[in-house]
Amino acid sequence: MAGYDNNKLGELRPNQIITTFGPGSVVDAVKDSVTILDIPYWKDKGKKIIDGRLASYLNVDAFYMPRTSFAHDIPVVTFPYWHVCSKCGRLFDAREIINDDLDKYLKFGVNCPDCHWRVYPARFITICENGHMSDFPWRWWVHRGETDCKGEMRMYSTGNTSTLSDMWVECSCGAKRSMSGATQARNFEGLSCSGMHPFRPHTRREHCEKPVIPSQRGASNVYFAVTRSAISIPPWINPLYNLIDEHLRDIEQAKKMAVRFGRSEEEGLQQIYEEYFSDYARDEFDAAYERRMKNIKEFTEIKRMEYEAITHHNDPTYQSNKKHFKAEEDPLPGYLSHYFSRIIRITRLREVRVLLGFTRVDAPDPDADEQPNIVYLTKGRDERWLPAVEVNGEGIFIEFNRQTLVKWLTEPKTREISEKYAASYREYCESKGWTIKADRNAVYVLMHTFSHLLIKQMAMSSGYSSSAIRERIYFDDKMAGVLLYTGSSDKEGSLGGLVELGTAEQMTSLMREAFQEALVCTNDPECMNTLPAEKNSNGAACHSCCMISETACENGNRMLDRGLVVPLSRREETSYFRELVNELCQVEI
């Protein structure tokens, strides 16, 4: 949203657009509050990003980085429409003023039609679970129901306290009402959702029967980005695969044209091969093209490919290209090999993050393939694309010992709590309408909690904040591992501080400190006695001991329990690292 001085509404980095301020979000700009428009309204695109696996899974032709370097890069419209004068308190819809003199608005923002003083956007809006967003129903609120009154409204404060009960809205007809209760959904019963999507200003309102939920425009439940990401791995980062993705539309077009003129698709494919791919053997091209055209239907498939590439990094098949992926590992000492199969240092890593759409009210599930209430971005007609960023960095991959995990799960106490977690996760997903492919049991909770405990300790030693270190959990019948990684959107990536912590000696030191922190929480005994039940999918976990920034957590700080990592009072048998904790921390519970 950069531009020349008098036309500059604000600035955003590409990574912010993907993770926090994408289309449909509310952004506080320099002169006003705005919402970013859907991608068909974008005139220009930035750098093209190629990732065949994600493109296949999301059914798009390409990804492009948001262009944020010149004027008019990212189009926006003002939202909320209603504004309040900072001097006389006039409450009015600013759209007519903006449309009458757009140049004046771009230079000075919105001014009050009465006193011509600067105004500010109203802080209250309404949203619904289907992703719609509207202005606060000011006239409905003041008149306590539907009304035809068109009187002027003003907002003022009695000045006694700073609570909402001392904020009043008054209409020139004499009706007035305090803003007390303006954020409580029960006070809006009978008011139907408007079905509006302000980020698509030229589309019709949708029919929506969801209840209206009042909120403030800066509240965290107004916008949750729905993203998917993939770690670039061999052979998908082979130049041949990238070349196929670059010319995928040309290939499809050539096959269609060949059929149209009475030739076979094979002849069209041969023509394209000779034009763009003659540097490669035909059978090599055919194998790569066939693999690219096999659509990936589940996100778990992408993670399974990454897991195979990381755990087989020494295999020549996965060493074809070290530009985006390079890994190394050392043998584990005996006291760690009982718990882990390997610890791999990934010195070069690239992650592609793609923005699919957004939800409101509730955060999305990071792995579910089908979720209701997601407002998907329009992918485009001529070229189907989505906004994305690529992040270069480093990471540490920890693979758990599957034999030890199986033995640990057979313990009666562990099996009992594992069933509770599986049932709790299932019930939570059903309440949200999410489609789940596999239950998440105690093994997932163990790896997730262990990941959080390590992130908190790594932040103390690596030079990164805890919000900059992200987790990626690999869990199913054939996967049991955690990738902790960091990076930045610049070309060079990160500085190596995380990889240095991946040696056996450094990991032992980190685990000792993490276990000591997890043994005692400032919220004990309440925290340590918490167990999963119904929709509560957390056990002994809170912000004091296990939870981290939600930008770093893969699952919204759900499914955590330090009682599965370290031995807690009356729960010693459920600890996976019970003997290691006793050895490293010199304590026995």
Task: Indicate whether 101 pLDDT > 70.
Answer: yes
Q: Are 285 and 209 in contact (CB under 8 A)?
A: no
**Mean pLDDT within 189-196:** 88
331: exposed, middle or buried (C-beta count within 10 Å: 0-12, 13-18, 19+)? exposed
Separation CA 193–CA 449 (nearest Å)? 39
Residue 317: the pLDDT is: 62
Peptide bond between residue 412 and the one before it cis (omega within 30 degrees of 0):
no
The pLDDT, as a whole number, for residue 5 is: 46
Mean pLDDT, residues 535-547 taken together: 88
Binned at pLDDT 50, 70 and 90, residue 199 comes out as: very high
What's the pLDDT band for 322 if we cut at 50, 70, 90?
low
CB hemisphere CA count around 47 (13 angstroms): 12
For range 95-116, the mean pLDDT:
79
> Which of 157, 161, 93 lies closest to 122, judged by CA?
93
Residues contacting residue 491 through CB under 8 Å, at least 6 positions apart: 392
DSSP state of 132: -
User: What average pLDDT is seen over the chain?
Assistant: 84
> In the prediction, which pLDDT does 3 show?
41
Average pLDDT estimate for 424-438: 80
- 538 vs 587: which has the higher pLDDT: 538
Q: What angle do CA 518, 522, 523 make, to 5 degrees?
A: 100
Distinct helix (H) and strand (E) counts, the chain: 16, 21
Could you state, in order of their start, the residue ranges of all structural domains in the chain?
A: 5-222, 234-293
The 10s digit of each residue's pLDDT in 360-393 is 988 887 767 677 889 999 987 777 899 999 888 8
For residue range 252-304, list pLDDT tens digits in order.
Answer: 778 878 778 778 878 888 888 888 778 778 887 787 777 666 767 778 888 88
Select the more confidently predicted residue: 328 or 248. Answer: 328
Under 8 Å between Cβ of 560 and 573: no
**How far is the C-alpha of 105 from the C-alpha of 462, rounded, in Å?**
46
Given this model, what pLDDT does residue 342 score? 93
d(CA 183, CA 213): 8
**Side chain identity at residue 55, one-letter code:** A
Percent of the chain with pLDDT over 70: 91
Judge whether residue 490 has pLDDT over 60.
no
Q: Tell me the two tokens of residue 514.
A: 């993490």
- Contact, 33 vs 27, CB < 8 A? yes
Query: Dihedral of the CA atoms 541, 543, 548, 551 (nearest 10)?
Result: 110
Q: What is the pLDDT of residues 223-257, one digit of tens each?
A: 999 999 888 876 555 567 667 767 777 777 788 78
Contacts of 406 (CB under 8 A, 6+ apart): none
- Pair 79, 21: CB distance under 8 Å: no
Model pLDDT for residues 1-59, shown as the tens digit of each residue: 444 444 556 678 888 888 888 999 999 887 788 899 999 888 888 888 888 888 888 88
Residue that is written with structure tokens 């990471």 in the block: 395
What is the reported pLDDT for 505? Answer: 92
In the prediction, which pLDDT does 243 show?
A: 76
Asked if residue 203 has pLDDT above 50, the reply is yes
Mean pLDDT of 406-429: 90
DSSP codes joined into one string, 74-85: S-EEESSSEEEE
- Determine contact, residues 169/91, Cβ cutoff 8 Å: yes
Q: How many CB atoms lie within 10 A of CB 492?
A: 9
Q: pTM of the full predicted structure? A: 0.82
Query: What's the distance, CA 451 to chain centroid?
Result: 18
Whole-angstrom Cα distance, residue 567 to residue 573?
7
